[in-house]
Structure 1
Amino acid sequence: MPQVLEFKLPDLGEGLTEAEIVRWLVEVGDVVAIDQPVVEVETAKAMVEVPCPYGGVVTARFGEEGSELPVGAPLLTVAVSVGSEEGAGAASGAGSGSAGVGAEAGAGSGEVESSGNVLVGYGTGAPVARRRRIRPTAVAAAVPARAPVVPAVPVAASDPVPDAVPGPVAVVSPLVRKLARQHDLDLRQLAGSGRDGLILRADVESAIRALAEGTAAPLSAGGAAPEAGAVPEAEAVPVSVAPSAGRTVAGSAAQRIPLRGVRGAVADKLSRSRREIPDATCWVDADATELMAARAAMNGATGPAAGPKVSVLALLARICTAALARFPELNSTVDLEAREIVRLPEVHLGFAAQTERGLVVPVVRDAQARNAESIGAEIARLTEAARAGRLTPAELTGGTFTLNNYGVFGVDGSTPIINHPEAAMLGVGRIVPKPWVHQGELAVRQVVQLSLTFDHRVCDGGTAGGFLRYIADCVEQPAVLLRTL
């Protein structure tokens, strides 16, 4: 006998409590395999594809694209074939793992096959169960036939209005339900104009106007009762098309854009940084001509010395790790409760990356143990993942120092906000030809402005100035780095 299981939004890790549905990857009635991605969600950290730990037929989806769901809220239900041959011991992967599995069995006594995984790369720690091929015919009976959606057509006032019929109400928005209750409108008698017959606010408002004008509200699907065996309302909530990013306020041209997802996380972190960190900024101009020449020599090498191309950002990152080894005060954080400065042994170097989803800061782990080539390769990998929206929460957290190359935007200087709870951020402007006194003579040199924003609680201006001066010296004389390589 088939058994209907509810799969809930799992714990995505890193303290995340909610996620926004970006795109559904399956439809009601689709057959899904174990660990097949079923929905793409956006958290405050990254875009994530959520795989379903069960294999079977999708009977319902919960939440519309563009809506936010808390962890533990239902995502979808799946009809799974259960029998004495199918399930002996197979549920151990789902039942003995952490609470993050996010799937619960419905009524039924059989055990259900499950992988025990939550996200690809984020297992529950439970043993992975033996997988079997899904038999669609075994569970097809559990999926209701999808009734055709009939457009809303007003009927004459003299025509009888059918009584309310049982079955699911094709409405998701609480505002739509509230509006209908306020006007004593039965949503079961309306046909929605949205996707899969979803009842929209415009449908309710149209029905209210029709009642005010003395006509009957549009009927749903001819007023016929749903087919026998339909999934109850709690298990089948249709999904509408994603709403627009902002909404226009009635009577004005102002636009309201929700602060959520990546943008909301950035807003919260920057606000907290400004509230808690007494920051200060110092800056210096540096002659980067020799650094650019050294990079050209590296990338132009042939024979055994040849290797992958090294970016300017990779060289600056390597300079930062060398500077942090000399000035560990800036690779630290402040524990306010204990009133302690915590100096960190590893350098997890964050770098600012602009994407279509906004500003993100991927983290190069253990940068202090990498050379420029290794750092450059990791920066390239993380940048590509950031632009494709594939960064995991773990790749976006845990940084101890941030490098911000705002020169790519064509600007010379900035006073960046520290990436809380770090203690400092190095900003790098554009490298451009400028008049410069070189060896006692005026010359055109490649000049860059470097700025350091630091937490004044972890060090004083002398330490911050020494750190920035060492950075500038390495930019002007890359051979200085040979002492630490």
Structure 2
Amino acid sequence: MARIPILMPKMSMTMTEGEVSSWLTKVGDEIAVGDVVCEVMTDKVDMEVESTAAGTLVEITVESGMVAVGEPIGYLEGEEDGLGLGDLLAPEPEPEPEPEPAAAAAPLPAADTLAPDHSDDHTEWEAVPSQPGPVAAVPRARGLARERGVDLATVTGSGPEGRVTVADVEQVSRPAAPAAPAAPAPAAAAPATAAKPQKDRSAMIRAAVARKMTESAAVPQFTVWRDVLLDEANAVRRQQGVSWTTSLLQAYAAALREVPDLLNRWDATALDGRGAAVPSGPPAVALAVATEGGLLVPVFLEPDARDPRELDAEVKHVVTAAHSGRLDPAYLGVANGSLSNLGGMGVDRFQALVTPPQASVLALGSIKPRPVAVPGGVGLALTLTAGLTVDHRVGDGAHAAGLLDAFVRRLTQA
């Protein structure tokens, strides 16, 4: 029997440490593949850590507290599978090569506030391993599958890279009769358990924002403004049946694609240390979400290439997950642009700050009827004020003007 470490997982590309908030198992417990062993909290997300191996929990090295990524927090005794537990962003194991050509190395996975849409839907995502092994699914989807007798291996995941969601399980099963309510926890214990993580995570998020904004202060940046008429966009949005969040997110991503210079990022190590703007891939837009615990910024890959209705449903699910503090690490990648909207909070116009290594951030104010010039006088039109802030090392005023123009054209396309 091998001694298998349970490692502090890396839940985002920028994560360096996390906090063990609670253990859901104890020494001596038999652990099956997929069982949740503990909860970990970072400045971005609360995450249930699932076992990727079976065995007996023989040691808990960190009951609670901060631990660096990759350090052990406990140990299982079981059959060694060649991988430690918990690194959510680690490359998946390569399959055994065929005798003929050697197998190629497996590639690594690709890697301020919009008012949330009101929705009762709750979905979280989890990466799905390739060959062989357990089908990874969000804990809520895994529990629902067990409750309804669904084999996760028969479910086609609709999440990024095939991950199984709650909606996927619901599609292949009829809702079961509600289970008998679980025995309530002691009245005195519940508030204490809920309050501490919220307070701690809020402080961690504030510290993370402080670090990023300190980096931002070193970036030479400027802001350009434009008033945007939205009557045509509103008609299209209503026809599609989607939220303003989705329409604006898609328009910004499409505009970034038209001005590829603003998809670059500044790399101070390029050109032998002289620095240069280097490509960062297709649009990956961070959507700022204000939660009770602080600001979270889930990242959406190429949202302009998505079906509007599908993207709208995904945005609602992700915003709901962000508010619950259980945002899936799949949405914590590195962005190359940010979308921030304080319009839902009554703000008409504001300036957002660039978050390195992103080259731009689009700040949107309130959407409401305002007086505008019309032939022969003054009329009313649905408008908003957009402020685009750009890293001046990567782009100039002409780039910013071009992006805003592309943003407007996308919104006025029927």
- TM above 0.5, yes or no, is yes
Q: Deviations over 1:323-348 (max 9, x none)?
A: 22332222211111112112444111
Contact 2:30 2:55 in 1 (8 A): yes
Q: Equivalent residues in 2 for 1:285-324 (5 A)?
A: 285-296=227-238, 298-299=239-240, 309-324=241-256
- How many residues in Structure 1 have an aligned counterpart in Structure 2? 318
AA aligned opposite 2:69? V
CA contact (8 A) 1:412 1:448 kept: yes
Structural mapping, 1:354-369, within 5 Å? 354-369=290-305
Aligned to 2:109: none
Larger radius of gyration: 1
Residues 318/384 of structure 1: CA separation in 2 closer, same or farther (3 Å cut): same
Q: Which residue is 2:220 aligned to?
A: 278
Match of 1:219 in 2: none
Alignment of 1:17-32 (within 5 A): 17-32=16-31
Contact map agreement 1:28 1:60 (CA 8 A) in 2:
yes
- Structure 1 position 59, deviation (Å): 4.6
Q: Is the CA contact (8 Å cut-off) linking 1:43 and 1:261 kept in structure 2?
A: yes
Query: Does residue 205 of structure 2 align to residue 262 of structure 1?
Result: yes
Please tell me the residue identity of whatever aligns with 1:125.
Answer: P
Distance 2:337 2:6 in 1: 39
Q: Tell me the CA shift for residue 60 of structure 1.
A: 4.3
Match of 2:338 among 390, 398, 402: 402
Change (3 A) 1:361 1:72: closer
Per-residue deviation, 1:3: 8.0
Q: 1:458 to 1:36 in 2, by over 3 A?
A: same
Distance across 2 between alignment mates of 1:371 and 1:130: 31
Q: Which residue, out of 319, 327, 332, partners 1:383?
A: 319
- Farther-moved stretch of structure 1 (279-288 vs 30-39): 30-39
Using the TM superposition, name which of 321-330 and 453-462 deviates more. 321-330
Deviations 1:428-479 (A, max 9, x none): 111122222233322232221111111112222233123224434554xx1x
Name the amino acid aligned to 2:223: T
Aligned CA distance change for structure 1 residues 245 and 10 (closer, same or farther; 3 Å):
closer
Does the C-alpha gap of structure 1 residues 337 and 293 become closer, same or farther in structure 2, counting only changes over 3 Å?
Answer: same
Higher relative contact order (CA 8 A, sep 6+): 2
Residue 281 of structure 1: how far off its partner (Å):
0.9
Contact kept in structure 2, 1:430 and 1:448, CA below 8 Å:
yes
Alignment of 1:336 onto 2:272: no
- Root-mean-square deviation (CA), in Å? 3.4
Aligned AA (2:390)? F
Q: 1:70 aligns with which of 43, 68, 71?
A: 68
**1:326 aligned to 249, 253, 258, which one?**
258
Name the CA distance, whole Å, in 1 between partners of 2:133 and 2:228.
61
| Deviation (angstroms), 1:19 | 0.7
- Mapped to 1, the partners of 2:22 and 2:399 lie a distance apart of 49
Give, in angstroms, the shift of residue 264 of structure 1. 2.6
| Cα distance between partner residues in 1 of 2:210 and 2:19 | 17
Q: Distance in 2 between matches of 1:244 and 1:384?
A: 21
Structure 2 unmatched runs, 5+: 96-130, 135-191
> Could you tell me which amino acid in structure 1 is paired with residue 382 of structure 2?
Q
One-letter identity of the residue aligned with 1:284: R
Identity over aligned residues, as a percent?
29
- Residue aligned with 1:399, SS: coil
Q: Does 1:118 align with 2:50?
A: no
- CA deviation string 1:14-55 (max 9, x = no partner): 253311122321234443323411111023443222123454
Report the counterpart of residue 40 of structure 1 in structure 2: 39
C-alpha separation in 1, matches of 2:194 and 2:242 = 42
**Rounded Cα–Cα distance in structure 1 between residues aligned with 2:10 and 2:251:** 38
Question: Which residues of 2 match residues 98-177 of structure 1 at below 5 A?
Answer: 101=84, 118=86, 124-125=92-93
Tell me, yes or no, if the aligned pair for 2:23 and 2:38 is still in contact at 8 Å.
yes
Residue identity matched to 2:212: K
* TM-score, scaled relative to structure 2: 0.66
Q: Is the 8 A contact 2:21 2:197 kept in 1?
A: no
Alignment gaps of 5+ in structure 1: 81-89, 102-116, 132-239, 248-256, 300-308
Name the CA distance, whole Å, in 1 between partners of 2:132 and 2:308. Answer: 43
1:317 Cα offset (Å): 2.1
Native 8 Å contact 1:33 1:55 kept in 2? yes
1:8–1:75 contact (8 Å) kept in structure 2: yes
The offset of 1:57, in angstroms, is 4.3
Deviation at 1:410, TM superposition (A): 1.8
CA distance change for structure 1 residues 125 and 356 in 2, over 3 Å: closer, same or farther? farther
Take 1:12 and 1:363, find their aligned partners in 2: how far apart are those partners? 13
SS of the residue corresponding to residue 435 of structure 1 reads strand
Pair 374,328 (structure 1): closer, same or farther in 2 beyond 3 Å: farther
Q: Following the alignment from structure 1 to structure 2, what is the Cα–Cα distance between the partners of residues 462 and 4?
A: 59
State the 1:79 CA deviation. Answer: 5.6
Distance 1:371 1:272 in 2: 35
Once the 2 structures are TM-superposed, how far is the Cα of residue 371 of structure 1 from its aligned partner? 4.4
The answer on whether the counterparts of 1:450 and 1:472 sit within 8 Å (CA) in structure 2 is no
Say which SS state the counterpart of residue 448 (structure 1) adopts. Answer: strand
> How is 1:448-463 mapped onto 2 (pairs within 5 angstroms)?
448-463=384-399
- What is the SS of the residue equivalent to 2:93? coil
Matches for 1:11-22 after TM superposition, within 5 Å: 11-12=10-11, 14-22=13-21
